[in-house]
Amino acid sequence: MNLTFEEKDRVIEMAWEDRTTFEAIHLQFGLKEQEVINLMRREMKPSSFKMWRKRVQGRKTKHEKLRVFEKGRFKCSRQKQITHNKISKR
């Protein structure tokens, strides 16, 4: 999938956020979890990628099915201000 610089930047930002699921990234950008991992590997420095992978592996908040809290419960107060967030503009 060909993403613009701004879209890649937003995917990376969402992937770093603890409470943004891979499913949300898939819904907004059409990228599956493995594609997000490949994008992160390609676009980040090796040390940053390793740090991110260590953080994300096994993190229940990155997978919607593993979450124990309700959807939308932890919505960021600044989410409406994010300029390239297609979901918040619906």
Q: Spell out the per-residue pLDDT of the chain, length 90, in tens.
A: 689 999 999 999 999 887 788 888 999 999 999 999 999 999 999 999 999 898 888 766 666 655 555 555 555 555 555 556 555 544
The reported pTM is 0.66
Q: What per-residue confidence (pLDDT) applies to 70?
A: 55
Q: How far is CA 29 from CA 6, 18, 23, 41, 84, in A?
A: 12, 18, 10, 17, 11
Domain of 70, in residue numbers: 5-89
Q: What per-residue confidence (pLDDT) applies to 61?
A: 63
Number of domains present in the structure of the chain: 1
Q: What per-residue confidence (pLDDT) applies to 74?
A: 53
